Structure 1
Amino acid sequence: MKSFGYTKAVLVTIGILLISALLFFLQKLVGLETLRETILKSGPLGPLVFIFFMFLSHVLAPIQGAPFYFLSFAIYGKWTLIYTHIAYLLSSVVNFWIARKFGRNIVIKLVGRASMQKIDHISVHEGVKALLIMRFFQGWINDFISYAAGLTAMKFSTYYIISFLAPLPWTILTFLFFDQVPQETAFFWALALGGTFFIIPPIYYFLHHKFSKGKISHTT
């Protein structure tokens, strides 16, 4: 069982790296100018359009937000970090209350049964410490964390204070130092940083699951 868990963790890490490499290749293939022309068609409403689609990608988990994210970076640069944070704050409220008010059945319809297994896993462990770690290193799984928290007995005030404050340090630092990174390497470093933040929460949960005294069960 231990070797299986280790193998699974390695495969997940390799998968993340391959996806990051593929996105980098596609960005080079399509080019920033094509992405820029697409988003410019929205005019001054461009940021609102981006926030709206990122919000949808967080609420409807199967919708991938990465294309919108890279599209926005092509034209808005570091301000994409702020726009993404706004979308995240909005979706965090909606997802939490959808899960809290309507329960598992509606969440399954929004994210699918396969994704529900991940939500079940997170909700079993969800606590202040776990939420703090997940929010600080939230990567691209904000939707699952929000739904999972809504399925627990955690107070909304506690959940939202942590959700609001935990991502701020790295968001602000990245925003402030973004212009110090050469433009030709900015995309690479964004992928590297994003990939690092992406794999830390799964590793944490893997270790927490491995050394937890309690048993974890998933029902769908």
Structure 2
Amino acid sequence: MRILAGLAAIAFLVVGYLTLDHAGLIERVGDTETLKNTVRDLGAAGPLLIVALMTLAIVMSPIPSAPIALAAGAAYGHWWGTLWVAIGSETGALIAFGLARFVGGPGLAGLLARQSSATFFDRFLHSQNALMAAVFASRLLPFLSFDVISYAAGATPLKLWRFAVATLAGILPASFLLAHFGDELGSGDLRRVGLTVLALGAITLLPLMWKSLPHRCREALGRAVGLR
């Protein structure tokens, strides 16, 4: 029964995406300037559209989410833009997690654990703290698919509330950065835009820079800031 429900959900998502694409809405979502003007014209309903589009972008992976976040920042500034983007992202992530869990996530996780002979994998899969930390860390890495992580997490025994907390904590920085970038683009100040681009690039490279440091340096820095 769950398999049939899962297939029905997938069919619904595919049909929904094709319908939106045929109507030209996908192309409009990818145009930040057009979307910014649309949400502004909607007045008080504009934030609801941002939240709805971000939710769809997470659940329907082919829909781009970055232009929506940029438009939110350009239309509402980085603080309110961050709020609407974060709400939409969190809602979409919870829906994706729920869909994967409903189709039989825990059963799939158990199957993977039984098929794996690696003790580490088995322990990791059944450690709520480790899974929660993995979700949180993945949200901070822009080159990892937000959508795929949300669905994949539903195929593990991770508790819903832990997933929700880890996702929210991880998406707030990225949501703020994208909304802030959109706000800067809307300002038309090329100097501010350039500084924002440099800051975004530096933050994106931080995990790689940390990983490239020698082990002794990482330990020393960790002790200096109280991480150890």
What is the TM-score of this pair, normalised by structure 1?
0.53
Cα pair distance change 1:103/1:171, threshold 3 Å = same
Match of residue 142, structure 1, among 146, 156, 177: 146
What is the TM-score of this pair, normalised by structure 2?
0.52
Matched-pair contact (CA < 8 Å) for 1:99–1:151:
yes
User: Is 2:99 aligned against 1:95?
Assistant: no
Matched-pair contact (CA < 8 Å) for 1:140–1:198:
no
Cα pair distance change 1:94/1:39, threshold 3 Å = same
- The AA in structure 2 aligned to 1:81 is T
SS at match of 1:88: helix
TM-fit CA distance, 1:70: 2.4
- The AA in structure 2 aligned to 1:50 is I
- The AA in structure 2 aligned to 1:74 is A
Give the stretch that moved more between structures: 50-59 or 135-144: 135-144
Q: Deviations over 1:155-174 (max 9, x none)?
A: 22222222223444676799
Percent of counterpart pairs with the same letter? 26
Cα pair distance change 1:192/1:90, threshold 3 Å = farther
TM-fit CA distance, 1:189: 4.6
Cα pair distance change 1:144/1:169, threshold 3 Å = same
Cα pair distance change 1:31/1:46, threshold 3 Å = closer
User: Is 2:70 aligned against 1:70?
Assistant: yes
Q: Deviations over 1:84-131 (max 9, x none)?
A: 111111112111111111258xxxxxxxxxxxxxxxxxx99x823322
- The alignment yields a C-alpha RMSD, in angstroms, of 4.2
State the aligned residue count.
155
1:51-200 alignment to 2 at 5 Å?
51-78=51-78, 79-103=80-104, 127-137=131-141, 141-168=145-172, 183=187, 184=189, 185-195=191-201
Cα pair distance change 1:143/1:200, threshold 3 Å = farther
Cα pair distance change 1:175/1:91, threshold 3 Å = closer
User: What residue is the counterpart of 1:50 in the other structure?
Assistant: 50
- The AA in structure 2 aligned to 1:94 is I
Q: How far apart, CA to CA, are the structure 1 residues paired with 2:146 and 2:32?
A: 28
Q: How far apart, CA to CA, are the structure 2 residues paired with 1:171 and 1:36?
A: 16
Q: How far apart, CA to CA, are the structure 2 residues paired with 1:35 and 1:167?
A: 22
Matched-pair contact (CA < 8 Å) for 1:50–1:72:
yes
- The AA in structure 1 aligned to 2:75 is I
Matched-pair contact (CA < 8 Å) for 1:135–1:167:
yes
- The AA in structure 2 aligned to 1:165 is A
Structure 1 portions without partners, runs of 5+: 1-29, 105-122, 208-220
Structure 2 portions without partners, runs of 5+: 1-30, 106-123, 213-228
SS at match of 1:152: coil
User: What residue is the counterpart of 2:222 in the other structure?
Assistant: none
